[in-house]
Structure 1
């Protein structure tokens, strides 16, 4: 049997999608051992009840285990799906409440920016622990991670552990391709796409049908549609020449031109602190699913496309080839991005594994945007792995939105407050590192 471990299984909506796909696959019937892990006993119990219900609805004949101790579950695993959220809603709330008092605006705060930096700092120790257990108990397993900030976490895993079978999974490329196809009135199958960059800041390099670029059609649409032009990603496309994969609320946080300016926030309709609303909706969805479990309602999710982790697992186990966009180590994939970074590229997944496609060089202006993004990523990884408080300050100082909003002293003070607020979840050396002293080198 193939053993699939889901850690953070209490994220039950994602667990439901993944298991619905795997349990509905005729080729995988009777071949799956699913092990569920979560540190929250209530959410773990919900996930286990959900898995059993889905197994019953599909007749998958899966073996299902669950536990709060991950080590017995990891033993002999073939795939480990990571979807946990270290600190949960309370940590996210602090990531927004404290910067707000300094006048720093955020929308989602999960990638770079101070929100992304501190999400990474509290997640990396847990992820390194998971990778250490995998190295011991299932060294050949694939770690498939949905957890943000993906570019930072995958870099930390690559640099801080011997684990090599790691892939990051995100919907942004898939959703962007679907959006562009809809805008130009074509089916996805009619369009040839090629997209690359870093997670949450990749770009559609090729957008063609029958050998002809569809970008001129997109330009005509934008010229005639004020609403379509009035988005951050449209602004970036018009000035940098390639459509970005990330939503406007995400994209606004990675550059200095929007969130620090009140008029731009209003003009572009940027949803400040959107992450808090999304977190509240997730809590509501969790309660609704618990209600459906209690009432006996069917819970099998039926989708037009497989969930991403399901695609990867299905292709590896059955040999069915698929192209999937994944975050993978930049081992010669993108020439003009750092070799130690992890990049988002198309990959062929089949029975022999994951085979990323070589992109070559990005257009220089796109690589420049990515390198600015990766400066924050690299310093955050440095801060976590070396437990160096000065690198936390420097990551925030080099973040485009933060540096466009706050002076240096305020950035240090903000970081100090966030370190105090999250100290129980951060690497010990960062907490002990002490506050910056004005006029002294860090």
Structure 2
């Protein structure tokens, strides 16, 4: 039975994305009978929580709404009787992301937030925390939905399903939304006039486009892409895919596929940024500082335009639409990370995939995609195996499993380099990797 007023808790409430989240709720004020929004953070994020929380209150007041905005460092208080829980936290804050990018690059290996060595380490730090949150949810709000857009979103979602034994979880990413918006513009149409079908993994999917009459427009988009070579992703340097390869795929890869199809060029670009202390993480840290200065303005009562430069635009709006769709059984077509359930026949039935789904009151219903062509199948199966091993390493703290994940990952050279990077990153992140304590102690002792 629907409640008259719902409670929403956001873990990582001091995030720079929170104003977009609040804006998304305000836009859906007639769909979501919100009573309370709880913004939760940790002691290190207390100042940002207060800044962004005060902005959230001004936004709600400006909209003429009576929602209660609570700020707290007590996660359990926020979770008690919540109807929806969204997660947007970063274990180790942006300094950890800087290490994720700079340590691999110091060895000439790609450093990136969700791909390669950096992505695996973000999973190592994040998965134990999300499982701890799920443990609290099972006690305090077992019927709540967990809406996760903490990266790496696909691995985090799979960890919740498999190791948290919690079914009411959906992973979200803004990348498909960016593709939909840009590609509909290239076709001179609105997003609503088109049908997009996505299949793959988080940050590793492909898609096709049809019009409402069922005509395949994917090739037309490819034509337009090579006529208008500009970037749709704020956080990735744009290098055009080889046209022959793209057309052979018969599907459009996501922007993150540049790391896999154009690895040498992407590493070269990142090494240039590394040399000038301008990696994406370092750039974002400066952007965040500027955003929070803007957020402090007591006259500000809306999401500032500068937030669009942060690189995660539309994440929060997607979360709000997902919540509205579940709450109202809207059956919206959205791209989410969810249990495969046979939608992608080339991947395990019980794994998490990122796939076009219909969002219902009982969660996402993935749209059947079937089989991939060989080129996509080979890569996506390798990546899924890497994800499974990474998740197991994150849960168990098994050094051998972590090294195995590094060896499988196509963006990490195997052998001595992989082991060297793994060891350096374990020591660098040791404060946030208690499960690896035994391995880290051995590394530090030189064993």
Q: Normalising by the residue count of structure 1, what TM-score does the alignment of the two structures yield?
A: 0.86
State the alpha-carbon separation in 1 of the partners of residues 360 and 304 from structure 2: 24
State the alpha-carbon separation in 2 of the partners of residues 386 and 373 from structure 1: 20
What's the counterpart of residue 141 of structure 1?
Answer: 144
State the alpha-carbon separation in 1 of the partners of residues 34 and 247 from structure 2: 50
Q: 1:216 to 1:36 in 2, by over 3 A?
A: closer
What's the counterpart of residue 365 of structure 2?
Answer: 355
What's the counterpart of residue 210 of structure 2?
Answer: 207
What's the counterpart of residue 417 of structure 1?
Answer: 424
**What do residues 67-124 of structure 1 show as CA deviations (whole Å, max 9, x unaligned)?**
1110111011110000001111211121222222211133xx1223100011111111
Residues 264-343 of structure 1 correspond to what in structure 2 (within 5 A)? 273-290=279-296, 292=297, 294=298, 296-299=299-302, 307-343=317-353
SS of the residue corresponding to residue 81 of structure 2 reads coil
Structure 1 residue 344: Cα displacement: 1.0
Matching of residue 125 in structure 1 with residue 134 in structure 2: no
SS of the residue corresponding to residue 80 of structure 1 reads strand
SS of the residue corresponding to residue 402 of structure 1 reads coil
SS of the residue corresponding to residue 400 of structure 1 reads coil
Structure 1 residue 347: Cα displacement: 2.0
Q: 1:64 to 1:346 in 2, by over 3 A?
A: same
The more displaced of 317-326 and 63-72 is 317-326
**What do residues 264-291 of structure 1 show as CA deviations (whole Å, max 9, x unaligned)?**
999xxxx98333323322332122112x
Pick from 90, 97, 103: which aligns with 1:98? 103
State the alpha-carbon separation in 2 of the partners of residues 347 and 397 from structure 1: 32
Residues 222-233 of structure 1 correspond to what in structure 2 (within 5 A)? 231-232=240-241
SS of the residue corresponding to residue 280 of structure 1 reads helix
Q: Is the 8 A contact 1:233 1:244 kept in 2?
A: no
The more displaced of 159-168 and 16-25 is 16-25
Q: 1:222 to 1:62 in 2, by over 3 A?
A: closer
SS of the residue corresponding to residue 349 of structure 2 reads coil
Matching of residue 368 in structure 1 with residue 378 in structure 2: yes
Q: 1:21 to 1:230 in 2, by over 3 A?
A: closer
Matching of residue 381 in structure 1 with residue 388 in structure 2: no
Matching of residue 240 in structure 1 with residue 249 in structure 2: yes
Structure 1 residue 207: Cα displacement: 3.3
What's the counterpart of residue 53 of structure 1?
Answer: 58
Q: 1:275 to 1:374 in 2, by over 3 A?
A: farther
What's the counterpart of residue 3 of structure 1?
Answer: 7
State the alpha-carbon separation in 2 of the partners of residues 321 and 223 from structure 1: 35
The more displaced of 214-223 and 83-92 is 214-223
Q: 1:59 to 1:151 in 2, by over 3 A?
A: same
State the alpha-carbon separation in 1 of the partners of residues 349 and 362 from structure 2: 24
What's the counterpart of residue 196 of structure 1?
Answer: 199
State the alpha-carbon separation in 1 of the partners of residues 226 and 147 from structure 2: 41
Q: Normalising by the residue count of structure 2, what TM-score does the alignment of the two structures yield?
A: 0.85
Q: 1:262 to 1:307 in 2, by over 3 A?
A: closer
Q: Is the 8 A contact 2:155 2:387 kept in 1?
A: yes
SS of the residue corresponding to residue 144 of structure 1 reads strand
SS of the residue corresponding to residue 371 of structure 2 reads coil
Q: 1:308 to 1:223 in 2, by over 3 A?
A: closer
What's the counterpart of residue 264 of structure 2?
Answer: 258
Q: Is the 8 A contact 1:5 1:77 kept in 2?
A: yes
What's the counterpart of residue 234 of structure 2?
Answer: none
State the alpha-carbon separation in 2 of the partners of residues 437 and 378 from structure 1: 30
What's the counterpart of residue 433 of structure 2?
Answer: 426
Structure 1 residue 243: Cα displacement: 0.4
State the alpha-carbon separation in 2 of the partners of residues 235 and 110 from structure 1: 29
Q: 1:388 to 1:332 in 2, by over 3 A?
A: same
Q: 1:254 to 1:376 in 2, by over 3 A?
A: farther
Q: Is the 8 A contact 2:58 2:300 kept in 1?
A: no
State the alpha-carbon separation in 1 of the partners of residues 117 and 330 from structure 2: 41
Structure 1 residue 56: Cα displacement: 0.8
CA RMSD in angstroms, aligned pairs only: 3.1
Structure 1 residue 188: Cα displacement: 2.1
Q: 1:29 to 1:342 in 2, by over 3 A?
A: closer
The more displaced of 311-320 and 325-334 is 311-320
**What do residues 230-275 of structure 1 show as CA deviations (whole Å, max 9, x unaligned)?**
5148675234221012x2xx32334574347759999xxxx98333
The more displaced of 35-44 and 91-100 is 91-100
SS of the residue corresponding to residue 170 of structure 1 reads coil
